[in-house]
Structure 1
Amino acid sequence: MSQANPPGLDLRRLRDHLGRARPGLVEGPLTAEVIAGGRSNLTYAVTDGTGRRWVVRRPPLGHVLATAHDMGREYRVISALRDTAVPVPGTVLLCEDAEVLGAPFYVMEHVEGTPYRTAAQLAAIGPERTRAVVRGLTGTLVRLHAVDPGAVGLGDFGRPEGFLERQLRRWGKQLEASRSRDLPGVDELCRALGAAPPASPAPTVVHGDYRLDNVLVGADDTVRAVLDWEMSTLGDPLTDLGLLMMYSEQRDVPGSPITTTREAPGHPDPAEIAEWYAAGSGRDVSALPWYTAFAYFKLAVILEGIHYRYTLGQTVGAGFDRIGQLVPLFIDSGLTTLRKG
């Protein structure tokens, strides 16, 4: 439902800023609604008086972890990928002046499409289309990892050397920044990952949170836009595949606000997705158990950060009261995956 001023978005201030920065872009008053599904940055669909729509992204309210929620980086990578084979929304405007909305934000074009978040949504389109959607998701990841970062102006977008070790340190620090309770096994998982990181392939643009509900799928079952680039960088492409593996093997937890699509009829097995990726990219995927376990660790840290913000009353949306109970489940799954690997 549209709201005059959703939490974190002052429409009068937004309208005034757009009028100054992009004269003629919007006409008439603005209305907005929070787009459901995001668990970190806040996303809004904004409509002007003529019915034209845009999307606004800004950081969460309150507690913000260091290096996270960088609107400039997100805006930059989407703009850079505009003319590649990777489908992304068109960018409109970046505002790094926190005085306008209370935090930096950017505006991008609205893309029509469906973010498939649940097995029930996929079940409604049938097994053949579900298989096609997931295969298209995998193919889009292959195309992302085929982009030459230097050719699109992203040669300095990250520091690929020592990427995995640095990622482990980063997520360990973010865990400490949000740690407010005992989490059995999390330190063991972090140590086990750090003890035997694999040798990384050649670096690519990495999305950092690649999964089905972070893309918009069109009526023709193709990926129309890849969204939520807040954790993108240059680094090891198999971290993206490991995350996709995690979401492809993880089954829904009853009562959880976080849903997966694994149980939809026709959904490919993780092993088949890995085979598609290996065939399309030419990369060796034999170390996938490590990458999948790292994905479990990373998600556990992200969820713990969301839980921490919830305890401070700084998170917008429904279901956040149950996020905290999921963290131990992901820690256990990460440990189990490493032991099996």
Structure 2
Amino acid sequence: MSTVPPPGLDPETLRAHLDRVRPGLVSGPLTARLIEGGRSNLTYVVTDGTGQWVVRRPPLGHVLATAHDMRREHRVISALHPTAVPVPEPVLLCEDESVLGSPFYVMEYVTGTPYRTAEQLAPLGPERTRAAVLALVDTLVELHAVDPQAVGLGDFGRPEGFLDRQLRRWGKQLDASRNRDLAGIDELHAALGRALPTSPAPTVIHGDYRLDNVLIGDDERIKAVLDWEMSTLGDPLTDLGLLVMYSAKLELPHSPVSTTAGAAGHPSPAELIERYAARSGRDTSALSWYTAFAWFKLAVILEGIHYRYTLGQTVGAGFDRIGELVPVFIEHGLTTLQEG
């Protein structure tokens, strides 16, 4: 691990704080490294040479505290840790911005692998790949079985009118990044609004549930579910719809959207839905709406990235190809909704 501190985390300052609030936790000088790949909040691994921990903090220079709420993330993993849902054990929450320049929290380091592509899954072989993806579904069932009131999350969101608010929210996001004609996207948005399903009883939802947001162990079990920044109380089928969308074969080379569906042994979307329905007891007959909504949501997110690219506000390679993906996601959304 590099001895040069990564941006946003000073190991000496963190060590001093830990010694004050959790004396004895750390036994030597800390070193830290930033974990690449996070979409929003920053994630670091810190070690004293013996133990390892993970630190989460908002992005540098963030403005909207509500979008990077460390207290909220810490609260949900604290509530879920005693349940059957595998989450890292929380160590502490620090809301004193004088320590690292923003609120942050510390949690245990969990060993496991996040699989982002079919190529990464390939060495597991068909049987282990199938087991890992089915375990993803089973863990989602466990999450949606948690009683929010019983774990202190009864006020964690506003589930009434959840789908309508979500649809309006992503419609506004689309309007904020419009600078070209996108055939079919208004049609998809309107069709989703006309066909709004009746939500089942609300549950704790993850909000971005997919294979590369969990850590898989050598036994193909889910060791930890990560990245809870979009979690709330809402319609559990939105989590399943997103998972099904990510399980579709995109056939898009060099796509920045992670999909593992091409891996040998990967269960089909229909199998995932059937397993969830059987294990949760929920009616999944309207799932085509939820999957179409996931396609719409990702189309809006990608269009936002493309919009920032056209303004010269993106850094790194690959952003030039994102714009051409958006019509593909729109088409998938329309087709999925019509098939349902």
CA distance in 1, matches of 2:320, 2:116: 19
User: Counterpart in 2 of 1:182?
Assistant: 180
1:33 corresponds to: 33
Superposed, 1:95-134 pairs within 5 Å as: 95-134=94-133
Name the counterpart of 1:86: 85
Aligned pairs, number: 339
- Structure 1 residue identity aligned to 2:18: L
* Residue aligning to 2:5: 5
Distance 1:305 1:64 in 2: 18
The offset of 1:43, in angstroms, is: 1.3
2:279 aligned with 1:286, yes or no? no
SS in 1 for 2:150: helix
Task: Give the CA deviation at 1:120.
Answer: 1.5
Q: Equivalent residue for 1:19? A: 19
Query: For the Cα contact (< 8 Å) 1:112–1:216, is it kept in 2?
Result: yes
Residues 60 and 173 of structure 1, relative CA distance in 2, 3 Å threshold: farther
User: Matched residues in 1 for 2:174 and 2:58: separation?
Assistant: 19
Does the CA-based 8 Å contact 1:40-1:306 persist in structure 2?
no
In 1, distance between residues paired with 2:246 and 2:132?
Answer: 15
**Counterpart mapping for 1:208-219 below 5 A:** 208-219=207-218
SS at match of 1:8: coil
Is the Cα–Cα contact under 8 Å of residues 2 and 33 in structure 1 kept in the other structure?
A: yes
Q: What is the one-letter code of the residue matched to 2:43?
A: T
The 3 A distance-change label for structure 1 pair 174 and 47 is farther
The aligned residue for residue 234 of structure 1 is 233
Structure 2 counterparts to residues 40-79 of structure 1, below 5 A? 40-48=40-48, 50-62=49-61, 67-79=66-78
Kindly provide the amino acid, as one letter, of the partner of residue 144 in structure 1: L
Cα distance, 1:211 vs. partner?
A: 0.6
Q: How many angstroms apart in 2 are the aligned matches of 1:203 and 1:223?
A: 24
RMSD: 2.5
Indicate if the aligned counterparts of 2:90 and 2:107 stay in contact, CA closer than 8 A: yes
Retained in 2: the 8 A contact 1:13–1:101? yes
Q: 1:14 to 1:66 in 2, by over 3 A?
A: closer
TM-aligned CA distance change 1:31 to 1:66, over 3 Å:
closer
Greater shift, 148-157 or 292-301, is seen at: 292-301
Q: From the superposition, tell whether residues 305 and 248 of structure 1 become closer, same or farther in structure 2 (CA, over 3 Å).
A: same
Q: Distance in 1 between matches of 2:308 and 2:2?
A: 25
Q: CA–CA distance in 2 between the matches of 1:95 and 1:289?
A: 42
Q: Could you tell me which runs of 5 or more consecutive residues in structure 2 were left unpaired when the two chains were aligned.
A: none
SS of the aligned residue for 2:114 comes to coil
Identical-residue share of aligned pairs (%): 75
Q: 1:322 to 1:155 in 2, by over 3 A?
A: same
TM-score normalized with structure 2 length? 0.90
Specify the code of the residue in structure 1 equivalent to 2:294. Answer: A
Pick which of 244-253 and 304-313 moved more: 304-313
Q: Which residue of 2 aligns with 1:192?
A: 191
2: CA distance, partners of 1:44 / 1:84: 25
Long gaps (5+) in structure 1: none
Contact 1:134 1:268 in 2 (8 A): yes
| 2:179–2:307 Cα contact (<8 Å) kept | no
Are the structure 2 counterparts of residues 150 and 122 from structure 1 closer, same or farther at C-alpha, using a change threshold of 3 Å? same
The offset of 1:254, in angstroms, is 1.1
Deviation at 1:89, TM superposition (A): 0.3
C-alpha separation between the residues in 1 aligned to 2:45 and 2:178? 33
Name the aligned partner's letter for residue 224 of structure 1.
K
AA aligned to 2:205 is V
